[in-house]
């Protein structure tokens, strides 16, 4: 198998991200859930970089899309929407917590 330049760069970068994630976990800055989820994500990226054609063809076949490039675009758009949804949920949760805190202070001041 002839290695293309990105097939070397991406796994090297991914290794850096995974090491960083492990260090964060050991310091207590990341939960086991974040470590596992982050690990799966970065390994998938690395795996995809090593076998781009085989994986994209497989995805296209599974979803019944003719071109493997289109399949990757659809897949990425879906992924972006998923992360957008997760971020918005997180934002709403934090907003709720700020409101709750503000309310508690207001009521406590009036006790």
Nearest in space to 4 (alpha carbons), one of 66, 51, 38, 45:
51
Half-sphere exposure of 32 (CA within 13 A, CB side): 0
**Window 42 to 101, contacts with another protein (CB under 8 A):** 89, 92, 95-96, 98-99
* Per CB under 8 A, 110 contacts another protein: yes
By CB under 8 A, the count of residues binding another protein is 13
**Is 30 in a helix, a strand, or coil?**
coil
* Per CB under 8 A, 105 contacts another protein: yes
Q: Contact residues for another protein (CB under 8 A)?
A: 89, 92, 95-96, 98-99, 102-103, 105-107, 109-110
């Amino acid at each position: 198998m002839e290695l293309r330049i990105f097939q070397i760069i991406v796994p090297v970068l991914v290794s850096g991200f995974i090491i960083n994630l492990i260090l964060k976990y050991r310091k207590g800055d990341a939960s086991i859930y974040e470590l596992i989820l982050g690990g799966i994500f970065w390994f998938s990226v690395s795996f995809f970089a090593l076998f781009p054609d085989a994986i994209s063809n497989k995805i296209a076949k599974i979803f019944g899309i003719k071109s493997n490039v289109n399949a990757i675009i659809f897949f990425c758009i879906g992924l972006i929407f998923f992360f957008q949804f997760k971020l918005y949920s997180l934002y709403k949760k934090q907003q709720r917590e700020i409101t709750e805190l503000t309310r508690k202070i207001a009521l406590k001041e009036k006790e």
